[in-house]
Amino acid sequence: MTIATPIEQPGRAKRFKAASAAAHERVDNGVMAAAPFASKANYERFLRFQYRLLRRVEPLYADAGLQPLLPELAGRSRLDALEQDFADLGLAPPAVAFGPRLPIAEALGWLYVVEGSNMGAAFLAKEATKLGFSDAFGARHLAGHPEGRGLHWRRFTAALDAVELTPDEDVRAAQAAADAFAHVEALIREELA
């Protein structure tokens, strides 16, 4: 007699990662092709790119409905640090409206993409030092969490995986992650190409 063992499905974060691997690679390649740390002018374009993305998602970090689902969410926002980076360089941020509030499922997809970008920011922060920038001047928004990027990311993905969604909401969350990557690719074309 054979006893069937249920196959455990991967968590939401792992499913998002698998589904977005090609888009993630295009984003990484697009950012690095722009050589954001080759000159101050390139870095300024990179800051505009970052600002447009972070302004788009800022309302999600303040969304009262998401706070109990994603602990520490409000403190994860990097927009204030990015605005300080603009001030450090004597620049004005671009005039960009905040993005819309989103239903929970869609918000999770967008937050997955933006929070994931913080993991890659470790490399970017190191590159920013070539221009004399650091987590204390000019590259504050690239700074890692005091407890470490890895732990901070694992806490986020654990909370993301734990949110109870209907099958339809889960599909919408995955589509929102794809939409977020498409938005980032559009920003790369507009600001960095």
Span 93-119, pLDDT tens digits: 999 999 999 999 999 999 999 999 998
Q: Which residues, listed in sequence order, are joined to residue 138 by a DSSP beta bridge?
A: 134
* Helix, strand, or coil (residue 94): coil
% of the chain at pLDDT higher than 90: 91
The domain that contains 91 carries what CATH number? 1.20.910.10
For residue 2, being part of any structural domain is answered with: no
For residue 13, being part of any structural domain is answered with: no
Q: What is the pTM of this model?
A: 0.94
Residues 163 and 7 sit within 8 Å (Cβ to Cβ): no
% of the chain at pLDDT higher than 70: 95
For residue 20, being part of any structural domain is answered with: no
pLDDT at 10: 87
- Mean pLDDT over 52-80 rounds to 97
Q: What domain count does the chain have?
A: 1
For residue 77, being part of any structural domain is answered with: yes
Domain of residue 119, residue span: 30-192
pLDDT in tens, 126-146: 999 999 999 999 999 999 998
Arithmetic mean of pLDDT over the chain: 94
| Residue 38 clears pLDDT 70, i.e. is over it | yes
Residue 8: pLDDT band by 50, 70, 90 thresholds?
low
For residue 4, being part of any structural domain is answered with: no
Amino acid at 139: A
Reading phi first (left if > 0) and then psi (alpha if -120 to 50, else beta), residue 72 is in left
For residue 38, being part of any structural domain is answered with: yes
